[in-house]
Amino acid sequence: MPIDAEAPDSDAEEGRWCAARRLHVLDYLQSALVAHGRVGEDPAWYLCPYVSLWAVESMKAPGWVGWWVIAGDCPTDIVTCDGDRTPRSALRDFASRWREAAPLLARGQQHPEFVIGNPDSASELAPLLSARAGLLDKFASDDAIWRDLGI
């Protein structure tokens, strides 16, 4: 999962990339059997063509984000949205989760509270997951990114 994709040449290509990620998120939610409301038409935050973060509406609290789903050049994953309901906090949550899981995967174990990746490729996933956690931390810590978004 190296970040080696080229940046899109046009807004149309970026739109197609986002639309494809949204479809992937919808498939992921269906395969994970997550009962949910609406999924944003556009990502809540993204860096095309690398990573996208999607707000998923809660069924228990319509109109509110219940989950965040991350997709792109990283494992597709989901976290519950609670407390700080911003995309920035969601990136921090994914980074923390992946940082906890990486050393376990390196030993061929899964995290006791969630499953990520295919157990057959756990040793390959571990260093990549750790690297992605570091990148997500950098993105979440970059005030310039969030200042422009008003977050």
Q: What is the pLDDT of residue 1?
A: 31
Single-letter code of the amino acid located at 59: M
Share of the chain above pLDDT 70, in %: 93
Contacts of 12 (CB under 8 A, 6+ apart): none
Domain boundaries, the chain: 11-149
> How many other β-carbons are positioned within 10 Å of the β-carbon of residue 126?
20
Q: Quote the pLDDT of residue 140.
A: 93
pLDDT the model gives residue 6: 52
Query: What is the percent of the chain where pLDDT is above 90?
Result: 63
Q: How confident is the model at residue 3 (pLDDT cuts 50, 70, 90)?
A: very low
Q: What is the pLDDT of residue 4?
A: 41
Q: How far is CA 48 from the centre of its chain?
A: 13
The pLDDT-based confidence of 8 (bands split at 50, 70, 90) is low
pTM of the entire predicted model: 0.87
Answer whether residue 17 shows pLDDT above 90: yes
Q: Judge whether 93 and 77 are in contact, CB under 8 Å.
A: no
Structural tokens at position 72: 């792109």
Q: How sure is the predictor about 109, in pLDDT bands with cuts at 50, 70 and 90?
A: confident
Looking at the predicted structure, is the pLDDT value of residue 2 above 50? Answer: no
R_g of the chain, CA atoms, integer Å: 15
Range name among 23-37, 79-93, 104-118 with the lowest pLDDT average: 104-118
